Amino acid sequence: MNRQSTFSTIRKSTLAFEEAKITALYCRLSRDDELAGDSNSIVNQKAILKKYAEDNGFRNIEFYVDDGVSGTTFDRPGFNRMIADVESGRIGTIIIKDMSRFGRDYLKVGYYTEIMFPEADVRFIAINNGIDSANQADSDFTPFLNIINEWYAKDTSKKIRAVFKSKGQSGKPLCTNPPYGYIKDPEDKLHWIIDEKAAEVVRDIFRLCMAGFGPTQIAKQLEKRCIDTPTVHLRKMGINTPARPPENPYAWSARTVADILAKMEYLGHTVNFKTSKKSYKSKVKILNNPEDWLVFKNTHEAIIDEGTKELAKELRQSQKEYEQAQTRIADIDKIIRKLYEDNVMGKISEERFYKMSAEYEAEQKALEERISKLKHTIDTANEQSLNTDRFLALVKKYTEITELDAEIIQEFIDKIIVFKAEKVDGRRTQRIQIFYNCIGVIDLPN
């Protein structure tokens, strides 16, 4: 009697647990689906699923929704929450409008419908396709439907790529948001205008680079000055961005700084096809060979001039080579020290020791000579940058000159060289060179 009572209690508890399980009603809508009209809308899907559940006696219904997410990816908030509930044993049945709502990758869809759900004892129903895993005959057609849905996704992706390629080849920008320093023109969404607040930060980044700072040092300077990161800046302007805002709004990364220093867009150019994806299923972007980029010049106002950009590029390359050479010299010192120890302990012969140490010393000497040249290049560039800033500060001081006087001439001009007069084509010509303070001679077009 006691045994029967215990069995009855366990059976009742099991039935109660099964009855308490959730009936998951899953809805998904992608951006492409929105173009098809209201038939696939989230509201419409919810109405269909709720009616089906009520008409067929399903209880404890709960909606799991992904709005604006492609079916080729399975990293979706609503879907992930539903799968977590399946794994924890909370779900007894999953109902969807049709198989395309579940996903468009037949391998992954097959994994869930053929392996995971049966093992978790989860019933799976696709209303419009007449699929119910409780009836094995209904499930025989499921793999074929999955293949059709994947083909649809592949075909759609192909068409989107064709439109994307045509747009890019016409010179229209392909990125969702313009680079930091620009915003979309309210009058023309395909044209960029300067966001002056961010543009000044971009100019500061180039100035710091030309003053000898590397990306990591520049990032620290920006953080110290409490400059918002690009993501935070965009969000404050009410512009959506897929990047997550950092916990510290001023935590600039060296990578972000390096990307800004490398962008051709700051010269006023549109650059298309810089990245690509191997497959429509992949979310990983691959950097294309620069030879495959399409560059359309002077499509918007420049933030940085060509000379500044090239100088910054040369400086970065010189600094990188300089640091690598210094590291290699330190490594060679360690190698020679180790060779000496091995020679003293008899691990290598005298002849081999002298031969190897001579080779390393020759390499070290060549590196030291290279470091000296690189240091001169870096110092010269830094001085040039500093002098340019001094000259610009001087120009700003005299923005409204009505007439020249001796004081202004002395501030601006270092010296003037007047060359001997010559006759060219019967005309008397005389060349004059003006050396300005800070920047020297400026070569002007004839």
Amino acid found at 371: I
Q: What's the rounded Cα separation, in Å, for the pair 103 and 109?
A: 6
Contacts 24+ apart (CB under 8 A), 327-330: 328/363, 328/367, 329/364, 329/367, 329/368, 329/371
Measured in degrees and rounded to the nearest 5, phi and psi for residue 407 equal -65, -45
Q: Which amino acid is at 313?
A: K
183 vs 188, 199, 201, 252, CA distance in Å? 11, 10, 14, 20
Task: Give the separation between CA 99 and CA 128, rounded to whole angstroms.
Answer: 8
pTM, full prediction: 0.52
Q: Supply the Cα-derived Rg of the chain in whole angstroms.
A: 34
Q: In this predicted structure, what is the pLDDT of residue 174?
A: 83
What pLDDT is attached to residue 121?
92
pLDDT < 70 positions in the chain: 1-19, 31-40, 136-161, 279-283, 381-416, 418, 430, 432, 434-446
- Please report, for the chain, the start and end positions of each structural domain, with discontinuous segments joined by +: 2-156, 182-304, 311-392, 406-441
**Which of 377, 388, 386 minimizes the C-alpha distance to 314?**
377
For residues 314 and 77, give the distance between their C-alpha atoms in angstroms, rounded to a whole number: 45
Which fold would CATH assign to domain 2-156? Rossmann fold (3.40.50)
For the stretch 363-374, pLDDT in tens is: 888 988 888 887
- What is residue 382's predicted lDDT score, i.e. its pLDDT? 62
| Whole-angstrom distance, CA of residue 248 vs CA of residue 36 | 42
Structure tokens at 419: 């060359």
